[in-house]
Every structure is written in structure tokens, then in C-alpha cells.
Structure 1
């Protein structure tokens, strides 16, 4: 009997070991494709993907590791879900084609080309319908319509087939209009109604509480400002309200499960367990991201942390894309945000559109600069102008050596490496004195101003060159100077106290000790 029990215990332990071995090894980078839904496990229903407030972003912008976003990654999620056998509908909430309502003349070629690339990408994702907002009409309604995308007008209804049910997408700019459109959708036979409200989250919450609203879900499609939609938000109420992280960094996935009979849809309460698991994983991922982005981190340690981060991200993706448990007695829906993490794959056809855009827009911008570009205005009388880092080297040899060993000195190279040295969205933080009096205002006249030079931090140097003294230059620039580029979008892990010592050294902000270069040894 003891032998039998021992055999059972050993068998259980070995079975447990085999289960552990089936997981990705710690430190290994999992294959993103492995996170796609399992077709055989999909219950009767449909999948909706919703994007909104993309603000003209084809991909993440910034210098940090592991940045979210990218239309290619979004397309991959949609295309993979279509392999599951369920109807899949992709809906865009609008405010996606442009990032601002007014463009300067030199921005027009780039931004129009980008909007066209986004429209083509939407087509590769099988866009069913989209709403429109003010950030879609930056170049006018005629330009928007010329893109040929399927649209639902504000106050309108679009009825879509979702297998055994009908899904309605309604668009509105006010709560009252949303109520009316949702009621029209029900009258047209909609089983599930998605309301796209061209307002921030707070206004969408108020709309969801209005009497007579017949929507199952309200999506706030227009954040209040450029940096006000940094996180995904879900407000649980009788009618759930969501705001998707802006700039194409996340998708909303809505899984519909169908009961045998038609009837009202209920938000699945079992989703809470998944939410808690995902939240815990995201906290661990955020801590790893902070460590990975520390300046000067040991490369081997960084690689280990990156491997662990990718493992956790893959585990999170498994939770988010697994089919929900079927609701046998009710029609249900589950809401999940899909952050488009850096380790996820991109759809090849969609990513090819982004690559073509990168090539085209550089040529367009450079051609425009040569034909229409104007030099920066001269500094006002008595104000300093930019002279370039080379003018600083003769008197500040030690500081120049420190700068040459920093990432600031290679800022221009990082753009050239990815073919974005002529992109207007990027260049301002990779040259010195961009769009400033006495600086550089033309893409075809960057020579001598490449990189984040001395004057990027210490201010224009012409007066200091003419009369060297502490009064004619910014000796110790503060955090306010750094965050013009190291902002929450481009450098979300930036911490002034942590980063500053990485650019200081003897001869550049740190006293030279006796015996070091630049100071004779003590006698």
C-alpha cells in the first residue's frame, strides 16, 4: 500500500514538473503568436475591437525601452482573432487621423501622408465602421471623405452582422444625441449597442446615467488634452463607460457570448478575476520597465530583466486573449484592454505601410523645406543666438569630452538609424535650437546643429562666446529644461535626480579632484 501511495505522489510531482516545463522559461522571450485565441475553445459569440483617440500615431514615439503602441501590433491582434472562427468586427471611435486641429504649412505634407497611411492600415484590419471627431477634420471634411473609410455620421446608426446577433454602432457628440441614436438602434433590431461619444471620460459618465439610454457600452473617444489619456479607464455602472489609452497604445476588446435565446446582454462578473491577475502583472511589468530604463544599467542585468518582463507580458496577453467562459443562460459580454506591448508581433502587411510612410514622408518634408523653407528669425536686439557646440570646445575641452561620451551627442544618429531624420515629429529633440530665434528652422539646413548640444541645456551661446562669464550663459539648467523633451510621452520613466548624474563629470558640473585630468596633482 505504501508503495502504491508513493507511486501516486511521484507521479503527481512529475506531472507538476511537466506543467511547469510547459511555461516559458524565466528570462526567455516568448513568441507573441502563441498568445492568439484557441479556435476550438471559442464559445458562440463575436469579438469587437475598438480603437479611439489615436491622434495620428502610427507607432510609439520616444526614447524609452518597451514603449506601447503601433498600428502594426493592433492589426496583428485583429487578424489573429479572426482565426478563431467567430465574427470579428473592428470599430474606430474617431479622432484618429491627426494630432492637432491646426497645422503649420510645413506640417501639411507629412500629416496628410500619415492620415493616408492610417486609413490604409485600417483597411488591412477590416474596418467595419468608424466615427469622426474634430481631429479627423483637420484638413477638412472633403479630405477625410477622400480616404474612403466606412463612417457613421454623428447622431447616426450603423447596424453590423455579428453572427447570430446584430451589433449597432452609434455616434454622437452629446449625451442627448447618444440617447436618441441608441433608441433608434434598438428600433432597427440591434441586440448589442456600442455608443461612441465624442467627449472625454467625465462627459461619457454623465451620458451613461441619462434616462432612456439604450446602449450596452459607452466609449469616450476624445480625451481632453494631449497627456490626459495616459491610461486605460473602465467605469463600472449600469452602462459601463471606457476610455482607451490614447495615441494607439491600446485596443479595447469586447467578447460577446450568446445564450440559446436572444435577450439583454449582461457584463460578465467573472471578469473581475482576470482583471486582478492582469493588474498584478502590470504592476510587476511597470517596476521592471523602470529598472530597464535606468541610465547606465548593466547590460547583462538589463537583458535578464527584459527577459522576465517579456515573460510577464506574454502571460498577461494570454489572460487578455483567452475566450471568456460561455454564458449558458444569459447573453454576456466581457471588456478587456489590450495594451500593445513592445514584445507583441506586428502584422506584416500593415507594418509595410508604416515603413513606406517613413520613407515617403522624409522625402516630402525635405523637398518642402528646399522649396518653401525659411530661416529662423534673428534674435531680438540684446538677445543671444545659437552658435553650435563646436564654438564651445576651445574653452570647455573637459565638458566637450563628457558630452561626446553621452547619448546627447548621438541623438542625430539615432534618427538616421531608423530613417526619421527628416520627420517633423522627431527632429525637435534631436537637434539644437530647433524653431528658435537664431536656431535652425529648415530640414535642409541642419548641418552643424545636429544632436542635443551644449546650447540645448545651457541656452544660446553667442553672448557667452563674445563675453565669457557666468552671467552670459545658463550655468546649471534645471528640470524644466529637460522635460521639454523628456516628457511623459517620450520618456515616461525620466527622473531628474536619477538622470542628471549620468551627464555630470569632472569638468562638466562636477568638481575636478586633485590629480584628475584638467587639474594638476596636489604638491
Structure 2
């Protein structure tokens, strides 16, 4: 029942009846646009990253930061495109994120969203057939009741002072499509300023080479396995072949200029980090708040998969260690780890399992953290995170040593969650020191 309620709420959100303000605040460009240039902003391989973790400063990403970047170019001179792979899987939390991302793209004024096969399968699970009116266009994997009629291409026209500029987008599956399939869309009339952009799905190195040579594309965009955008073609080589990066940490800006009609456009690619210092947009901040509420309603914490501990061990909580380890307990109590869960409560993420698992004891194990109400003694990062479940150790008055599973710092302080941790391990260790030397 809870799943159905959440999915109904999600569909209402996507339908626009429970959305935040209708659009983001109009960005103001302080740059003077070149009348002969247009910009195409690319994002993609979102993998459900709605905002950075927030556990440490200096992290990149966040949907609410994007208007500050898109607004650097007047709306009449830009297009905004996402190349797909919106979420990492098909679990319940992924479904919630998928709907939130679609609504975010609408609020952000995206022109086009390219969907992969996985994206389409999730859309069908949610009962979506097409974007609602007034939203972005969709290309990519066939979607809808008549899959043969699903659009493979999209055209964006920019009114210029002297001549219209046209950006053509097409999506192909390298396993089954042929270069001639985009010939009609990618024709280059001699009286037109046009740039041809091809998004390639399911391509290996050989198929990429074939499409680069045969498709009449000016740009070939590939799936990404790196957080940062990467240019894969040689300088000056055409088409420009690149990936847009992952997790929304960077936005690619493709600047397009035309030396003259009927000739190839001049392309300049800029990689823009989505930095923490950028201002947040209010409508997107409210949308993220709605995501947090949907996660709370879903009860994902209680449904989180848990595996048994070995030999009947159980977690007992840090306070059970105090009797014999009073100095260590008192010192730990003053450290940030001892109030780790409160930091989630402060930002409204205390029901999000992706966040909670690194702020409590043993959430992925039986007898571990469930919710603050059911297992309050297991909230925060405590003794058993690093030393292992303590039931046998406590019941034997310390004669039985603690055993695995034990976490290491790197289980949670990954590059994604703690961007400044690598190379500063000793400094971070000093911050949690709660033992006597040696």
C-alpha cells in the first residue's frame, strides 16, 4: 500500500498538480551574446544525483545550481539537452528520483531529453507515455503506444539577426541503426547555418568509428564512464567526439559559430564545474524538499535489505561500551561522529537510506539501525562501525574480541561523499581521535 501511495504522489508531481512554482526564476545574463553564436548546454548520465552528499565542502553538482550556469547565455541563444541514463537502477528510490528529474528538467527549461532503454523501461513502470504539454521534447529509445512512430530526431531553431541558425539532434542505436538513417535529418542545405549533433547509444569503439566517419555529424556524443566530460577526438578533427560526464558535476557548453552559410560550423567546447558557491534556485530547492517527503512516505529505511551477522552477533550501541571504556566514550562524545545523525535531521535527509547508512550503525545488517524511533541507540557513527558488533564482547566483559564486519574510513569517505578526504587522511583521523596513545 505504501508503495502505491508514493507512486501515485510521484505521478501527481510529474503531472504538475503538486509542483513547486511553475518555473525557476528567470536567469539574468550579464554577458553580451555574439549574434552569430549559439550555445548548447549538455548534461547526462545523471545516475540519480539530485544534489551532492553535503558531508564535506567543495563538492560539485546539484540541480538547484544549474540556472546560474544556463543563465550565462540569453534564452534565445541557447538550447539545453540531457543525454539520458537518469537513474542508476530500477528500485523504488530510483523511481522516485526519475520523476523528480523529469520535473526538474521542465522547471529548468530543457529543450530536449534523450532517453536510453533503461530510462524508457522506468517511464513505462511509472505509467508515463509522453512528457506533458509545454515540456521538453524526447528522443532516444522508442517510447509510447506506437513505438515505430517515436521521434529519433529534434530540431531547434534560433532566430539570428541576419540568418536563422539550426541545431539538429538525432539518436541512434549503434547495434541496429545505420548511418544513412540520419541522412534526411542531417542534410546541410547550402543556404542554412546548421549544426548536426548525434547521440550514440550502445556503441563500442568500432561502431563509434563508423558513425564518426559516416553520419555527417558535427558532434558525436557518447555514454560516459567518467565524472568529468572528456573529448575523445583529436584537436581539429570532425566530428567532435565527447562525453558529458556523470552525476551532474559538470555542464558542457558547446559554443557554435558559423563563418558563412553552407560551411561547417566552428565549435568550442567548455567544461563548467557546478560549484558549491553558485547560488541555489528556490523552485528547485522546493522540488528537492518534495523528493525528501516522498522518500519519507515510502518508508525506505524499514525496507532496506539487511543480511544476518555471523554467529548470532548483535549490535548493542555505543553506550554499552561506556562501562569499560569510559575515557574513549567521553572523548568520542565530543566528536562530529557522535552527532552524525543530527546533521541529516537538520537538512531533512534522515529518512533517505542513501544518506543514513553512513550516519548510523549497521543499517545493512540484521539487528542494525532501522529508524530513529525503533533503534535510537544505533544512530550516529559509533564504536561498532569501526570495531564490529559488540554483543559477544560486552556479554563476556571484554574477554571475547570484536570481529567483522568492521567498516573502514573509506567505506563512507569516498571521493563522491568527501571530496577532500584523499591525501588528508591523517588530518581527518586527528579529528576523530578518542583513544590514548600509544
Q: Normalised by the size of structure 1, how large is the TM-score? A: 0.67
Partner of residue 472, structure 1:
401
**Displacement of 1:214 after TM fit?**
1.2
Q: Map 1:253-292; keep pairs closer than 5 Å.
A: 253-265=253-265
Q: Is 1:388 aligned to 2:290, yes or no?
A: no
Partner of residue 414, structure 2:
487
Change (3 A) 1:60 1:339: same
3-state SS in 2 of match to 1:91: strand
CA distance in 2, matches of 1:74, 1:250: 10
Please list the CA deviations of residues 442-487 of structure 1 after superposition, one character each: whole Å capped at 9, or x if unmatched: 575242111011101111111111224475215997xx62211111
Change (3 A) 1:142 1:384: closer
CA distance in 2, matches of 1:60, 1:208: 37
Partner of residue 157, structure 1:
153
Change (3 A) 1:204 1:140: farther
Partner of residue 60, structure 1:
52
CA distance in 2, matches of 1:448, 1:131: 46
Partner of residue 89, structure 1:
79
Matched-pair contact (CA < 8 Å) for 1:376–1:440: no
Change (3 A) 1:497 1:178: farther
Please list the CA deviations of residues 495-523 of structure 1 after superposition, one character each: whole Å capped at 9, or x if unmatched: 4344223322443xx23xxxxxxxxxxxx
**Displacement of 1:346 after TM fit?**
2.6
Partner of residue 272, structure 1:
none
Partner of residue 304, structure 1:
none
Q: Map 1:112-261; keep pairs closer than 5 Å.
A: 112-137=95-120, 139-141=122-124, 143=126, 144-145=128-129, 147-148=131-132, 149-154=136-141, 156-163=152-159, 164-174=164-174, 177=177, 179-187=179-187, 191-199=194-202, 203=205, 206-207=208-209, 210-223=212-225, 229-237=226-234, 238=237, 239-261=239-261
* Greater C-alpha Rg: 1
Q: Is 1:51 aligned to 2:35, yes or no?
A: no
Partner of residue 403, structure 1:
332
**Displacement of 1:159 after TM fit?**
2.0
Matched-pair contact (CA < 8 Å) for 1:62–1:490: yes
Please list the CA deviations of residues 393-414 of structure 1 after superposition, one character each: whole Å capped at 9, or x if unmatched: 1111011012111111111011
**Displacement of 1:56 after TM fit?**
1.4
Partner of residue 3, structure 1:
none
Partner of residue 38, structure 1:
31
The count of corresponding residues between Structure 1 and Structure 2 is 388
Matched-pair contact (CA < 8 Å) for 1:362–1:421: no
Q: Is 1:341 aligned to 2:275, yes or no?
A: yes
Partner of residue 421, structure 1:
350
Please list the CA deviations of residues 273-332 of structure 1 after superposition, one character each: whole Å capped at 9, or x if unmatched: xxxxxxxxxxxxxxxxxxxxxxxxxxxxxxxxxxxxxxxxxxxxxxxxxxxxxxxxxxx2
Greater percentage in helix:
1
Q: Normalised by the size of structure 2, how large is the TM-score? A: 0.79
3-state SS in 2 of match to 1:255: strand
Matched-pair contact (CA < 8 Å) for 2:60–2:249: yes
3-state SS in 1 of match to 2:186: helix
Matched-pair contact (CA < 8 Å) for 2:305–2:364: no
RMSD of aligned alpha carbons: 3.1
Matched-pair contact (CA < 8 Å) for 2:58–2:419: no
Gaps of 5+ in 2: 1-25, 142-150
CA distance in 1, matches of 2:172, 2:31: 36
